[in-house]
Amino acid sequence: ALSEALELRAPEAAYGWALRAGASGGKGALARADRLERLMPMEAILRNQQNLLPDGQIPSVTLNSIASIRAQARARLTGRGETRAYARAAMWAMIGAAAGDPECAAILDEIDEKIRFTTPEDQAVWASAEENASALATEAWLQFDMPKRLKGEN
């Protein structure tokens, strides 16, 4: 309800509330977030998403299976069950794709398709966020020895 009230007056604030409501299953919240994203520059979208995330630690339990990695990537992309966060979705999907999961590779394709229709400025902002996501994915891959951890999953 708060997101709806703020939608026209303060779209960035409304977007933050829509993300919160969407993560907890609020009816219509993700549709509102989608509408607001069309009005906002990528920098504002990513900043709002990042501001709602926990401290940035990668929960190692999520790295225990490709299925949990894939679920986290999908949840972060859609905002269902977790706060929508495109850069975090990309990070999880990169880890899963590197482990050979075709569904995680498809999530990366979805993100690429979403970005393809944005402005050149937004694409540059996303390229920087994607580079950071790649660095985090690589760090997790090495730190948690993902080939050993996921041995036998694919």
Residue at token pair 């929960």: 59
Please write the tens of the pLDDT for every residue from 103-142. 999 999 999 999 999 999 999 999 999 999 999 999 999 9
Characterise 145 by phi-psi region: left (phi > 0), alpha (psi -120 to 50), beta (else).
left
Is the confidence at residue 92, as pLDDT, over 70? yes
Please write the tens of the pLDDT for every residue from 17-49. 999 999 999 999 999 999 999 999 999 999 999
Average pLDDT score over the chain:
93
- Across residues 71-94, what is the average pLDDT? 97
Distance between CA 14 and CA 9 in Å, rounded? Answer: 9
